[in-house]
Amino acid sequence: MQKLDLGFVRRQFPAFAEYTLAGQAFFENAGGSYPCGAVVSRLGEYYRRLKVQPYYDFPASSEAGEWMDASRVRLAEYLGVTPPEVHFGPSTSQNTYVLAQAFRALLNPGDEIIVTNQDHEANTGAWRRLAAHGVTVREWRVDPQSGMLAESDLEGLLTERTRLLTFPHASNLVAHINPVARITARARAAGVITVVDGVAWAPHGLPDVRELGADIYLFSLYKTYGPHQGLMVVRAGLLERLGNEGHYFNAGDPSKRLVPAGPDHAQVAAARGIAEYFDALDAHHGAGPGGSARATRVRNLVRGAEVPLLATLLEYLGTRRDLRVLGPSVAEQRAATVSFVTETIEPLEMVRSLARLGFMAGNGNFYAVRLLEAMNVNPDRGAVRLSLLHYNSSEEVNGVIEALEQILDTQTPARRARQGDAG
Ligand SMILES: Cc1ncc(COP(=O)(O)O)c(C=O)c1O
């Protein structure tokens, strides 16, 4: 497999040249990645040169519209879908909210939908609210210890009345890669529409959505090196069956039906930069045919760089008897996001200590409250999360391991002493 040129990669991200960020290794990528330079410069140029109402017949306006269209075309290429199947919205939370409204046109009282307790609230709360419209909501539950969903449990939930199944490609905490293609195939055989939250997976290699078989696939561009936008793929033929959530007179325009907020022109236009970054990455690493072949090469390149880093981190965490890692311990089975809890130190304290040592990490419930509760983790206390991307280095991973060791080992004797004092 082609080895990633990390120096090249990091030169594509302005944050790595930013002196205010120097000396701090970034491990909160699952919250939002650094944007690539192509996105930053497109956003700046749009604001300087094209910040007018798009799609009119004067040069700045028509060029602004062309930029927006190009984003749809280029990202569709990396996702293995057609441009009209790509929709932008303010965020994934907003997109699922709008979709759930739009699905009311398809669902009748007594119809059933299946949601999980593994999802971020964005892909579960909006759907659960359909209960107010007479829809029966069934829950596909995780194993309390591993936090994983078992396909066998899904079988018991599917009935003749099931219309919709929503689940994550990977959870933003447990990070297990759900077998999406198998699950969507099973759902399709039962005549069930699938909505897959790909937010926690897409940054690790934009997937071929057609291959995954999802009817709807959502993710957040601000976590995939881009601007603060959500992207959803809605399979051709499905959109027209959903309610129109845009202005009534725009019902005939597919790009407007799911965007009641109206598009953020500049950010949609700048999203093309993500594809341009991937093009550059591919070109630097040897290139070859474009289209889906290029998308596959890029996917393999970034995943190939992440897995060894993730394996090193998981291996270390596995040696600590005082930690509970949420989700599988095998790197190949998960996205490069690792959450853990420990009795000995509050998650907030842990990330503060990490920050003092030059490591940016996250703590909290990460809006996966149902998942933490199901795993008997107090959501108010939450977990520590370390998430990495292909632009992280092995030095950073070794560094964060040393920092964790230092923090845990200074904490543990103090706690032992306290417990000793208490008798
Ligand atoms: C797995 C997952 N799904 C959905 C969301 C919500 O995305 P957005 O912030 O775009 O609404 C997040 C955000 O962290 C997430 O991690």
pLDDT at 299: 96
Whole-angstrom Cα distance, residue 362 to residue 344? 17
Q: Give the Cα-Cα-Cα angle 269, 303, 68 (nearest 5 degrees).
A: 10
The finding on whether 91 has its CB within 6 A of some atom of ligand 1 is yes
Q: Which atom of ligand 1 is nearest to the CA of 222?
A: 10
Q: What is the mean pLDDT of residues 247-263?
A: 94
Q: Which amino acid is at 126?
A: A
Among residues 307, 391, 206, which one has the least CA distance to residue 1?
307
**Measured in angstroms, how far is the CA atom of residue 321 from the centroid of ligand 1?**
31
CA distance between the termini of the chain? 57
Alpha carbon distance 224, 227 (integer Å): 9
Q: Which of 199, 223, 371 to mutate to test the pocket of ligand 1 (most atoms within 8 A of CB)?
A: 199
Q: Does residue 116's CB lie within 6 angstroms of at least one atom of ligand 1? A: no
Give the pLDDT band of residue 127 (cuts 50, 70, 90): very high
Question: For residue 421, is pLDDT > 60?
Answer: no
Ramachandran category for residue 20: left, alpha or beta (phi over 0 → left; psi -120 to 50 → alpha): alpha
140-187 pLDDT per residue, tens: 999 999 999 999 999 999 999 999 999 999 999 999 999 999 999 999
How far from chain centre, in Å, is Cα 149? 18
217 - beta bridge partners? 196, 233
Cβ–ligand 1 contact at 25 (below 6 Å)? no
Position 423 scores a pLDDT of: 33
| φ, ψ of residue 45 in degrees (nearest 5) | -65, -40
DSSP assigned state of 247: -
For residues 361 and 343, what is the distance between their CA atoms, to the nearest angstrom? 18
Q: pLDDT confidence of 412, banded at 50, 70, 90? A: low
Q: Is the C-beta atom of 276 inside 6 A of ligand 1? A: no
Per-residue confidence (pLDDT) for residue 422, from 0 to 100? 39
Task: Decide: 220 in ligand 1 pocket, CB within 6 A.
Answer: yes
pTM of the model: 0.96
pLDDT single digits (tens) 85-118: 999 999 999 999 999 999 999 999 999 999 999 9
Question: Residue 372: what residue type?
Answer: L
- Give the full edge-to-edge strand order of the sheet including 162-168: 86-89, 230-234, 216-220, 193-197, 162-168, 112-116, 136-140
Task: Give residue 232's identity as a one-letter amino acid code.
Answer: M
Q: Is 42 in the pocket of ligand 1 (CB under 6 A)?
A: no
Which of 93, 339, 365 has most ligand 1 atoms within 8 Å of CB, for mutation? 93
Q: Supply the residue whose CA is at minimum distance from atom 14 of ligand 1.
A: 31
Given a cut of 60, whether residue 269 has pLDDT beyond it is yes
From the alpha carbon of 200, which atom of ligand 1 is closest? 1
Digit-coded pLDDT (tens) for 316-367? 999 999 999 999 999 999 999 999 999 999 999 999 999 999 999 999 999 9
**CB of 92 shorter than 6 A to ligand 1:** yes
Mean pLDDT of 287-298: 91
Query: CB of 197 closer than 6 A to ligand 1?
Result: yes
Of all helices (H) and strands (E), which one includes residue 295?
A: helix 291-319
What is the secondary structure of 144-193 as a DSSP string? TTT-PPPHHHHHTT--TTEEEEEEESB-TTT-BB--HHHHHHHHHHTT-E
Question: Cα(404)–Cα(411) distance, rounded to whole angstroms?
Answer: 10
What pLDDT score was predicted for residue 415? 55
Q: Which residue has the tokens 């200074």?
A: 410
- pLDDT one-digit tens code per residue, 12-69: 999 999 999 999 999 999 999 999 999 999 999 999 999 999 999 999 999 999 999 9
CB-count burial class (<10 Å; 0-12, 13-18, 19+) for 7: exposed
pLDDT surpasses 80 at 407: yes
Structure tokens at 250: 């725009």
